[in-house]
């Protein structure tokens, strides 16, 4: 828990300073549940790609506590996220990590929440799924991860990150405007579907996963699975048929050839593929060594508009739940 009145920038700096002051950091665990867990996957991707001294591990919070990694201890940083700060598994994971001596850093919107109380350092974020503010969780996680890399390893990408993040709202606005017709067509074309697959790789797999579990399964009661584009040819591609819908994200980063190969195949054998290409969305304007780390945010914001429209066409608002908020479980 940190002084609640510090501005977000000061909280972020305090978190990075704490990470810098640790004598050894061998592992960074990114721990959360559901949509917040999905936010952790791009951070793990950043660490895997960039860090020479820290090993990264993204884990569901209940899995993290049950797995109880043998390496978890004083040389670990554990970064956790929960919008409400009340997710019991995430609170338990933070408590467990702190007992083991790890540095715990949490992101939440609610000061004074159980997660806030149990953690060493908190960063409070503002949440609006349709905006890409630099004080929302996805951007803060990227800034925190690169900030730790800069502080501990002298990684120099941070300057490019901030510049890139500042350009994202404009890129999303343009993309939404350019896709207006496609969004309307998508919603009408898919309103009777009982299954919609998502597919991506690299850091964008996170967005595919988030839309599969939080939007299609949870908020639309449409069957779904996030297919990793590299795994597609080793099983899932046999489910492809002319009428099976896919949403595929195409990176401008290291995983673009993997995405390309999957897109070439899926568009040949299904007539119902929606491809969102980072290049076509204008992300090519960003520095080539930073673009893959911010793409998941843009894909997420744009897909939200697609799914808002789909929800309207289906007469099934994204806010409807049959179990969550309706009962104890």
The only residue of 269, 279, 284, 312 in contact with its own copies, by rule CB under 8 A:
269
The number of helix segments (H) and strand segments (E) in the chain equals 12, 9
The only residue of 30, 42, 89, 306 in contact with its own copies, by rule CB under 8 A:
89
Closest to 103 (Cα-Cα) out of 79, 123, 134, 68: 79
Collapsed DSSP state (helix, strand, coil) of residue 328? coil
- The answer to whether 295 contacts its own copies (rule: CB under 8 A) is no
Least distance in Å: CB of 318 to its own copies? 11
Q: What is the total count of residues that contact its own copies (CB under 8 A)?
A: 67
Cα 245 from Cα 205, distance rounded (Å): 17
The only residue of 1, 8, 48, 318 in contact with its own copies, by rule CB under 8 A:
48
Q: Report in angstroms the alpha-carbon separations of 167 from 39, 132, 297.
A: 20, 10, 12
Q: Which of residues 239-258 bind its own copies (CB under 8 A)?
A: 239-241, 254-255, 257-258
For 8, the enclosing helix (H) or strand (E) is helix 8-21
Burial of 4 (0-12, 13-18, 19+ CB in 10 A): exposed
Task: Say which DSSP state 217 is in.
Answer: I
Structure tokens at 94: 């933070």
Q: Which stretch in 52-60, 97-105, 136-144, 300-308 sits in contact with its own copies by CB under 8 A?
A: 52-60
Lay out the site mask for its own copies across 61-80 (x = CB under 8 A, - = otherwise). Answer: xxx--xxxxxx---------
The only residue of 19, 30, 35, 248 in contact with its own copies, by rule CB under 8 A:
35
Structure tokens at 47: 């660490």
Half-sphere CA count of 289, side-chain side, radius 13 A: 9
The only residue of 22, 49, 95, 191 in contact with its own copies, by rule CB under 8 A:
49
Cα 92 from Cα 214, distance rounded (Å): 22
φ/ψ bin of 202: left (φ > 0), alpha (ψ from -120 to 50), beta (otherwise): left
Q: Which of residues 163-222 bind its own copies (CB under 8 A)?
A: 194-195, 201-202, 212-214, 217-219, 221-222
The only residue of 21, 242, 243, 323 in contact with its own copies, by rule CB under 8 A:
323
Closest to 199 (Cα-Cα) out of 171, 163, 223, 228: 228
The only residue of 2, 18, 34, 301 in contact with its own copies, by rule CB under 8 A:
34
Lay out the site mask for its own copies across 116-145 (x = CB under 8 A, - = otherwise). Answer: ------------------------------
Closest to 318 (Cα-Cα) out of 308, 306, 303: 308
Least distance in Å: CB of 269 to its own copies? 7
Residues at the site binding its own copies, with contacts judged by CB under 8 A: 26-27, 33-37, 45, 48-52, 55, 57, 60-63, 66-71, 87, 89, 194-195, 201-202, 212-214, 217-219, 221-226, 228-231, 233-241, 254-255, 257-258, 265, 269, 321-324, 329
């Amino acid at each position: 828990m940190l002084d609640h009145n510090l501005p977000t920038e000061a909280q972020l700096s305090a978190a990075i300073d704490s990470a810098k002051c640790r004598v050894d950091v061998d592992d960074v665990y990114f721990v959360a549940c559901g949509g917040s867990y999905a936010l952790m996957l791009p951070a793990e991707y950043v660490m895997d790609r960039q860090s020479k001294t820290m090993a990264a591990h993204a884990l569901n919070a209940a899995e993290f506590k049950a797995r109880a990694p043998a390496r978890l201890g004083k040389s670990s940083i554990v970064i956790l996220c929960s919008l409400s700060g009340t997710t019991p598994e995430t609170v338990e994971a933070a408590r467990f990590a702190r007992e083991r001596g790890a540095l715990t850093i949490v992101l939440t919107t609610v000061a004074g929440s159980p997660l806030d109380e149990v953690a060493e350092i908190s960063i409070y974020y503002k949440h609006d799924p349709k905006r890409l503010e630099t004080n929302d969780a996805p951007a803060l996680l990227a800034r925190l991860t690169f900030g730790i890399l800069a502080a501990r390893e002298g990684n120099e990408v941070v300057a490019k990150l901030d510049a890139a993040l500042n350009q994202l709202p404009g890129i999303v606005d343009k993309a939404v405007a350019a896709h207006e017709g496609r969004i309307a067509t998508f919603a009408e074309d898919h309103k009777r579907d009982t299954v919609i697959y998502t597919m991506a790789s690299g850091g964008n797999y996170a967005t595919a996963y988030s839309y599969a579990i939080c939007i299609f399964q949870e908020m639309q009661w449409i069957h779904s699975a996030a297919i990793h584009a590299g795994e597609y040819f080793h099983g899932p591609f046999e489910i492809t048929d002319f009428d099976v819908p896919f949403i595929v994200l195409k990176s401008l980063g290291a995983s673009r050839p993997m995405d390309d190969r999957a897109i070439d195949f899926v568009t040949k054998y299904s007539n119902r593929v929606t491809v969102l290409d980072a290049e076509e969305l204008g992300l090519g304007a960003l520095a080539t060594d930073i673009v893959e780390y911010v793409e998941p945010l843009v894909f997420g914001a744009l897909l939200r508009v697609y799914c808002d429209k789909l929800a309207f066409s289906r007469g099934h608002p994204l806010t409807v739940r049959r179990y969550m908020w309706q009962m104890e479980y």
